[in-house]
Amino acid sequence: MNVSSTANDRRLQRWAIAPLPNVIGLGGAIAGLGGGLAMAIVAAMLTRALGQDIWHQPKVIASLVYGPGATAQPGFVAGPVLVGTLIHLAVSALLGALFGIVTRRILLLPSDFGTPVMAGLVYGLMIWLVAYFIVVPTLSPRLLEIYVPAFIVQHIIYGTVTGLLYSLLRPQPYSLPSRDERR
């Protein structure tokens, strides 16, 4: 029994080593970038399925900078698509850093048993609520053109992928009692 429990302890200790330096928000920002990329891919697939231009959403985001002319030309337009994508990824990284800080430093959530994935799913839905009802109508009502169920799905994907990546980048399993405490 001592051999197997020692092997399990070693395996858990190895798993709890984070692959990144311990910089506040770094793991969350990188996880948020991954979630933002997944969200952008799903957005392109959903807009294609709805019969729209796959570059529509980045161009609508770029309308914050370019104005309504960003969506005037159909297809790929380098300036608006790149600016919209950069804005999207920057916000994704910031929201990911916030996710990491809130879940790990404030709520002290562990990274096993699916906790970060569920927390990410809830976080994605909360972001959707704030974005759709407060931020988007204030900053750019043109973003409300995005089909609502697709917008919800994209945010669920963002939160779930961000939570999953964060659990891999910043592992913090539940602590196991020592051998003496288990007896």
pLDDT tens string 19-47: 777 778 899 999 999 999 999 999 999 98
Measured CA to CA, the distance from residue 103 to residue 75 in angstroms comes to 39
pLDDT at position 63 is 85
The HSE-up count of residue 45 (CA atoms within 13 Å, CB side) is 9
Residue 55 scores a pLDDT above 80: yes
Band (pLDDT 50/70/90 cuts) for residue 69 is confident
The percentage of residues in the chain with a pLDDT greater than 70, rounded to a whole number, is 80
> What pLDDT digit, counting tens, does each position of 145-162 carry?
666 788 899 999 999 999
Nearest to 3 by CA among 123, 179, 181, 164: 179
Nearest to 31 by CA among 108, 131, 124, 112: 124
Asked if residue 116 lies in contact with residue 166, where contact means CB atoms within 8 angstroms, the answer is: yes
Band (pLDDT 50/70/90 cuts) for residue 118 is very high
Band (pLDDT 50/70/90 cuts) for residue 111 is confident
Distances (CA, A) of 128 to 125, 150, 151, 167: 5, 11, 8, 22
Q: What is the mean pLDDT of the chain?
A: 82
